[in-house]
Structure 1
């Protein structure tokens, strides 16, 4: 049990590192909080909540993986290297793909509800 709790400590340490060092991670956290607040205000359905939560988790997970890949790339290639640059670019591209998915899910869920208010 002690080992399990320690592993959670390391995981939260990693999340804290991303929060402290990655502006995009903080931006995604704010966007997720806005989506949650909108969900409560607009009273979205349980199914819609699942999509919102999945989108938030996917974006934050992608950002954490991107941070890990970039940190490791910097470790193994401290000077500029074209292939290391490609690794970092592809990793960042994965975040963009997930973020666009989340944005589209948000538009599909929230825009009709916002329009119906007017």
Structure 2
């Protein structure tokens, strides 16, 4: 059974991140019913890597978060590592891409794409 939750207590996205995700969705003709799947996978130089991608289906155990017209899907294992995370989008001098501000990360790599707990 999937659970719909209050975004503020689990994962948050900045307005800049939401704008960029909606732009990507539109530019790639991704259907409205697709949600953003946010997850963590084993690997990377610090132990875990962040994964973002659009998904057309909810899986058993997913937590569903709605924010500004964007549906976010998070599996239970990933939610454990992502609770309290704020996802932002940066297009500054240090590079362009999504930034995960994760309070659970005890160490991160220099590129910001992997973390350890």
TM-score (norm 2): 0.27
Whose strand proportion is higher, 1 or 2? 2
Whose helix proportion is higher, 1 or 2? 1
TM-score (norm 1): 0.27
Larger radius of gyration: 1
